[in-house]
Structure 1
């Protein structure tokens, strides 16, 4: 980047137009105008007095080539999601700040998932920022967070955005921002839970042995999808009937229960599946585990085939495991240990979805005799 050639308030802004084209906003600098005019299919919108280029992959790649030395801002997050190549047009200052964020998270020992999520929030924030990063003020952060609410993002998503920006601005860049102390109230949503009959239907609908075994392990042990795909043969202890979860969420090890039925499935599966490292290898080879997205797609097909209309995901199997244990009388403290929850408050959510005690309550309607005849 040759950011030092231009003043700090001079840059090109790219925005999506309603018709799918890309609007190119810029100050009158002849060099920049010539660069945009070189893009095939570009046009001058007389009514709006602005340059527009086709919103196609080829046009965007060409634009990236001609603007490689010019400071660029993305006017909306949609552009960056549609054309990741545009992220290469970040200013030198932004690239350095993002690199410091990466390094800060690595030094803190954040998981790969958290690092990816935080980087995504930081990059989206930069794309929406109307000024250079060093000139960003409290109002800009506030506007960004308010925009997330207007997009109807969940409270957990907004909270994660706050955590990401707070870590970046305050911990890494050494700034102070009171807006990052305000968090939206968490939505109190109860998890979706499948009945034992529904779980059985799902497992029976999966014919592929590897996929059925994997889903059975997730339900029978209550493990997360990311923990399941990374299981190795050494993690299974048939003598103690346990599964060793290594470096789960929060970087914690734990043990959970190994179901006899699930272990029988696993044994039959391993008779025909060579195991080098991971129990469930993926398409990239025996030394790579199956991807989480592949498992999600397997589950999506399974619930459709089983005729289940609940908005269930692979994680629903974990919720169902905990709820069924609770309904069968398992102490909440043991369930907390099996799930790897740091706080008992997290596990207590299952007391609200358990129907063990609800089923004992008789509805007043059922006490009415012959109410239909009175009509």
Structure 2
């Protein structure tokens, strides 16, 4: 939901008769009346011009569900002790802060994925807090980070959350005194999982739908991010120069990458059967929009199962495999960096640890031992 400053606010308090009283701050919206009428046991007091509903789990759960996207002010803080579900509701100041965060993201020119990610972390932080956002201090941020670590969240997830909160509190909200709040956990040294060339072929062969097979083939053969692949258009394909033009990829950067001859043949076959107007891979419901990333992820997961691949892999593994296979074939790391669109060579260097080109040349001492003893039954 996108909050608007003229949104009507609700005020909730615990009254002497043990019921909750609800009043609306203008502007009045008829939709709010429809929502509150869905609460079991609600009643309207025409004299005080307020609604009342019983203080029980069913009524509170319904209230918090129907007003989860509305500004709600709790006037009796004690009710949090009996009904902690009220903590999931957000005050007008919370929504105003979220609105400022969204606007600051747009002013910075960040992409829609970053906006969704940062807002998601902001909402989760609000859900975690036991105090209003205006009363947040560095210790609350540190407690949130510790909570994520206890939940065994990945280093990438936690670092992403820290970056989002720092952007929100320090930039969008211009809060002071948070210089020491942003301690990132120690970076995990994990290597990406890579498919063998045989596994890639087996996986692609298991995809029968030509549209899905073509997009997965392009992702592997050109080293694309899935978000880049779904946005491809006709004018991005250059079969003469054998290049793909990636427009406004990660970091809003353009780049060229290799266009496989075999992949282009498959693409031609797909285009001859499909009426493509704008995007190469349009959505099934709306041809003016590209296919959703989630749809490709689903296709990949199904293909992985049908190909009998048990490795923990995702669509992005095809990009990792592209880079690793190029390196094993002797392609210079600088060229791979350009094809992938990495800003730093250090990012590309991770594939030197994944490549088994040189490892395969090394003979295990166990093999030498068996050969020297002549005992093949060991």
Q: Match of 1:177?
A: 178
The alpha-carbon deviation at position 208 of structure 1 amounts to: 0.4
Q: Match of 2:20?
A: 34
Q: Match of 1:348?
A: 349
Q: 1:319-361 CA distances to partner (integer Å, 9 max, x unpaired)? A: 0000000000000000000000000000000000100000000
CA distance in 2, matches of 1:227, 1:55: 46
Q: Tell whether the 8 Å contact from 1:325 to 1:335 is kept in structure 2 after alignment.
A: yes
* Aligned residue runs from structure 1 range 67-78, under 5 A: 70=74
Q: Match of 1:8?
A: none
Q: Match of 2:260?
A: 259
Q: Match of 2:134?
A: 134
CA distance in 2, matches of 1:350, 1:321: 10
Q: Match of 1:298?
A: 299
CA distance in 1, matches of 2:259, 2:207: 21
SS in 2 for 1:174: coil
CA distance in 2, matches of 1:233, 1:131: 52
The alpha-carbon deviation at position 92 of structure 1 amounts to: 1.1
Q: Tell whether the 8 Å contact from 2:203 to 2:303 is kept in structure 1 after alignment.
A: yes
Task: Count residues in correspondence.
Answer: 339
Matched, 1:273 2:274: yes
Cα gap change, 1:61 to 1:128, in 2 (>3 Å)? closer
CA distance in 1, matches of 2:9, 2:278: 47
Cα gap change, 1:243 to 1:374, in 2 (>3 Å)? closer
Q: Tell whether the 8 Å contact from 1:256 to 1:338 is kept in structure 2 after alignment.
A: yes
SS in 1 for 2:216: helix
The alpha-carbon deviation at position 289 of structure 1 amounts to: 0.8
**Structure 1 residues not aligned, in runs of 5+:** 6-10, 12-26, 43-49
Q: Match of 2:104?
A: 104
CA distance in 1, matches of 2:252, 2:122: 23
* Aligned residue runs from structure 1 range 289-368, under 5 A: 289-368=290-369
Q: Match of 1:22?
A: none
Q: Match of 1:242?
A: 243
Q: Tell whether the 8 Å contact from 1:71 to 1:90 is kept in structure 2 after alignment.
A: no
The alpha-carbon deviation at position 180 of structure 1 amounts to: 3.4
The alpha-carbon deviation at position 172 of structure 1 amounts to: 1.4
Q: Match of 1:220?
A: 221
CA distance in 1, matches of 2:377, 2:127: 66
Q: Tell whether the 8 Å contact from 2:255 to 2:339 is kept in structure 1 after alignment.
A: yes
CA distance in 2, matches of 1:305, 1:248: 31
Q: Tell whether the 8 Å contact from 1:191 to 1:353 is kept in structure 2 after alignment.
A: yes
Cα gap change, 1:225 to 1:128, in 2 (>3 Å)? same
SS in 2 for 1:244: strand
**Structure 2 residues not aligned, in runs of 5+:** 1-7, 23-35, 43-53
The alpha-carbon deviation at position 307 of structure 1 amounts to: 0.6
Q: Tell whether the 8 Å contact from 2:297 to 2:315 is kept in structure 1 after alignment.
A: yes
Moved over 3 A (4+): 27-32, 34-39, 54-75, 370-375
The alpha-carbon deviation at position 283 of structure 1 amounts to: 2.1
RMSD over aligned Cα atoms? 3.2
Q: Tell whether the 8 Å contact from 2:41 to 2:59 is kept in structure 1 after alignment.
A: no
Q: TM-score, normalised by structure 1?
A: 0.82
The alpha-carbon deviation at position 144 of structure 1 amounts to: 1.1
Q: TM-score, normalised by structure 2?
A: 0.81
CA distance in 2, matches of 1:72, 1:344: 56
Cα gap change, 1:96 to 1:221, in 2 (>3 Å)? same
Q: Tell whether the 8 Å contact from 2:228 to 2:246 is kept in structure 1 after alignment.
A: yes
Cα gap change, 1:374 to 1:99, in 2 (>3 Å)? closer
SS in 2 for 1:275: coil
SS in 1 for 2:20: helix
CA distance in 1, matches of 2:361, 2:305: 32
